[in-house]
Chains A and B, each alone.
Chain A
């Protein structure tokens, strides 16, 4: 019974992820094929004296003259064998680059994610509790303003104020320049991480706070909170026993569902701070028509977002009794 359920559950997700990856591959391949940037030109770049014949040879070698469908099938075939090709930009296997850049990005994204999740939730709770009173009004206005500030702009402002003006933080990168990798301390890494992480969490902090506020206000106006008060529960007890219980679930779901915004934001934040992560690599690959890398990153990010959504669903299933019991009876 239980095993059967897990089997069904896993099967469903496998099917979904496979269709998702196929769809993403096809669409991104079409988009890349339509790109006006000539990969050969990008590859050859500033090197002078590359003859027309040499260019043609490169194009031939890459299979650029083949029809798109054939090219797609060739690419998809090797991907199925675990070969994502070699990045034109970095001249190393795509998977190695993704692994390396993702590690750097993960530190950044997770810091920002925890930061906005925890602080946003706390701020949202405070706003909800003071609903309609001045602390709520002030915080709400602040959050609305934060929501409408673009990530790259706030990144530049942070850089100007805290790095250029006050000199508290480095200008960019993830490690100090000129220091060998093995000599970089964890503190130095954290020091480099703070501003980009703040920038990245800026927008989602406000979103999480506003969302939490709405939910808490709804819950506090609900019939069951009224009845809890009628049974003599104090405001604080109501918040602890009914408030958190009922807003935590949507908050966690939203938090795991926000992986796509997180990834999108990291592209901007990493570029502003020259932070060598996956986001920066993605835009570099795009600008330079590094097709293998671009496709690899696209697939990877789709997987990343999918994992977030799947986690959200699983957590929902564990926490929400209605869904949990529903699964059990399926």
Chain B
């Protein structure tokens, strides 16, 4: 794939300024040297356990991080470096977010008013009707308030805001939990269709095995960084085709692959290990692993492990 990425994230680090007890100030590094890109027509799935920084990446791209966050690294849209101001201009128009839960809807405003925005024209209203139909949302759903929605309905409504926005890039933050399998497949199919129309989708998801089937590439997150980025095919093939010990372990932990859990815990941002962030849990760890580990190209994919081959 030699296309120019629409969105590239280069060496992104995000830390939060926190105040410990008293006036002591600590910087909490939650994303470290993260690198990722997505091309037109492509779905990149992001897999990783909760707390690995998936939502924060999406928020960072849209310039939605809170005031106490400091960001280093680059975020480029069509090759152009994005400042906060430009992010604000692009969001909702070029870049759309599908947020994680119903709490992202204003509890006192009807769903329709939130999906179609301030001053919807005829065309928008018509498009909204069509999209709702496509998602099996009954007529009249737009008049409901968020508390009247079931989890699945809320999820579909959140997805439809992004579809309606006509954005070039869609950042979908776990769009499938709460949907039954059929609906989840339906939602993912819609992302696939959008991608086939030339849009780009960053699909953050827990349903990794579903994602493997509709995504083009998969990025595995661990403790706020990308440990492996590879073709989705490799993830369907299994551990032999994968490169990073954590990706392999993630694969083995899937139900159909034996449900083998990985011992240990993802480190908390407050005490990250030196060098490789996975080293405390890695069976292949050597002294070398305590140095800074770069992303390297191995067998056509990218991996952050010096012992990968």
Contacts and interface: CB of A to CB of B under 8 A. Distances in A.
Nearest to B113: A241
Contacts of A242: 106, 109
A148 interface: no
A231 B101 contact: no
B148 interface: yes
B162 to A, nearest CB: 9
B200 interface: no
A71 B158 CA distance: 68
Interface string A211-242: 00000000001111011111111000100011
A146 B242 CA distance: 65
Given A246-B108, A321-B145, A226 B161 contact: no
Given A132-B67, A321-B147, A325-B148, A241 B108 contact: no
A132 B19 CA distance: 15
Interface in B153-169: 161, 165
Contacts of A246: 106-108
A245 B88 CA distance: 23
Interface string A55-83: 00000000000000000000000000000
Given A231-B165, A237-B118, A321-B145, A224 B107 contact: yes
Contacts of A226: 59, 64, 99, 104
A322 interface: yes
Interface string B254-266: 0000000000000
Contacts of A322: 107, 145, 147
Interface string B102-140: 011111110000100110000000000000000000000
A223 B101 contact: yes
A224 B88 CA distance: 16
B91 A230 contact: yes
Nearest to A242: B106
A221 B66 CA distance: 8
Interface in B27-50: none
A224 B106 contact: yes
A245 B209 CA distance: 41
A227 B97 contact: yes
Contact of B103 (A224, A233, A249): A224
A243 to B, nearest CB: 10
A224 B108 CA distance: 10
Contacts of A232: 91-93, 117, 165
B89 to A, nearest CB: 8
A325 B161 CA distance: 25
A227 to B, nearest CB: 4
Contacts of B88: 229
Given A132-B67, A226-B64, A321-B147, A245 B165 contact: no
